[in-house]
């Protein structure tokens, strides 16, 4: 008898309210495969430890979960990551999953959010349909996480795709990579901008969104922009809360390919 599992893998978050975005994506993906049991895994060991210590919540790593599914007799497994980039966390997940290739009758893996050019175009549509499009004198600024991985170039490609689609007053920066906030500020000065809407370009509106982007701390993006004279509105809505994001990941789930058998 076949036992089928859907594994939804994300970086994770320790913020209870932010987990709503992950739960929304899990429900959307589970609805695509109603004959599969749905499971959650996080790639961040730090998040996993803090959840256990502070909230008494246990979330497995991808490796731990797949090992458990194998022992429980699951025969068909498909993993869909909620990572935005093909970066360090995605690569870590792949390393953890690799030893299990060949241990199931079917073992498939979906792609991260920004992989093919079609993803960039669809992501621009998600932004246009779910965030306030800038009017004259306004700008929409998105805050991504950023990385020292070469996949960080995806942020620049996304903004270039916006320009290709005539979305001229939407900018994306990162907390831990390039383009950063200084770059965004230089670009805002070249336009007659007086009002800025801030949104996280993150699956969850967790610590980075709440503190680095929207807080009243001196170094937050909101505070920095306000000191430069802009009227700033910060929105704490993660990408995972938009049903349209679920549709993008559902497409990747449908296109999931067999994990290479070592």
Dihedral over alpha carbons 70, 74, 79, 82 (to 10 degrees): -90
| DSSP code, position 250 | H
What are the tokens at 248? 């993008």
Cis omega before residue 179 (within 30°)? yes
Give the whole-angstrom CA distance, residue 164 versus residue 190. 19
Tell which residue, 236, 243, 173, 246, has the closest CA to residue 209: 236
Q: Given the residues 28, 83, 145, 208, select the one marked as catalytic.
A: 145
Tokens of 90: 């995605």
d(CA 238, CA 226): 22
CB within 8 A of 209, min separation 6: which ones?
18, 143, 200, 202, 236, 238
Region of 259 (left: φ > 0; alpha: ψ -120 to 50; beta: rest) is beta
Report residue 7 as tokens. Answer: 């594994």
Do residues 141 and 201 touch, judged by C-beta distance below 8 A? no
Distance between CA atoms of 129 and 8, rounded to whole angstroms?
Answer: 25
Q: Could you confirm whether 36 is annotated as catalytic?
A: no
Catalytically annotated residues? 145
């Amino acid at each position: 008898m076949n036992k089928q599992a859907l594994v939804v893998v994300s970086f994770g978050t320790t913020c209870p309210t932010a987990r709503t975005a992950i739960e929304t994506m899990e429900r959307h993906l589970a609805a695509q495969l109603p004959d599969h049991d749905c499971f959650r895994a996080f790639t961040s060991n730090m998040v996993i430890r803090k959840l256990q210590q502070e909230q008494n919540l246990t979330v497995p790593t991808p490796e731990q979960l797949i090992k458990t599914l194998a022992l429980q007799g699951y025969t068909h497994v498909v993993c869909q990551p909620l990572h935005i980039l093909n970066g360090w966390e995605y690569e870590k997940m792949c390393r953890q999953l690799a030893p299990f290739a060949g241990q199931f009758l079917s073992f498939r893996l979906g792609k991260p959010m920004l992989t093919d050019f079609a993803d960039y175009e669809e992501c621009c549509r998600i932004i246009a349909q779910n965030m306030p499009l800038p009017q004259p004198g306004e700008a929409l600024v998105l805050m991504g996480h950023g990385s020292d991985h070469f996949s960080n170039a995806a942020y620049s490609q996304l903004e270039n795709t916006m320009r290709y689609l005539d979305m001229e007053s939407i900018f994306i920066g990162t907390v831990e990579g390039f383009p950063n906030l200084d770059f965004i500020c230089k670009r805002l000065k070249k336009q007659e901008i007086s009002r800025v809407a801030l949104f996280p370009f993150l699956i969850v509106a967790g610590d980075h969104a709440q503190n680095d982007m929207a807080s009243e701390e001196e170094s937050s993006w909101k505070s920095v922009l306000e000191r430069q004279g802009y009227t700033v509105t910060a929105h704490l809505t993660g990408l995972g809360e938009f049903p349209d994001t679920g549709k993008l990941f559902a497409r990747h789930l449908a296109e999931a390919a067999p994990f290479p058998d070592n």
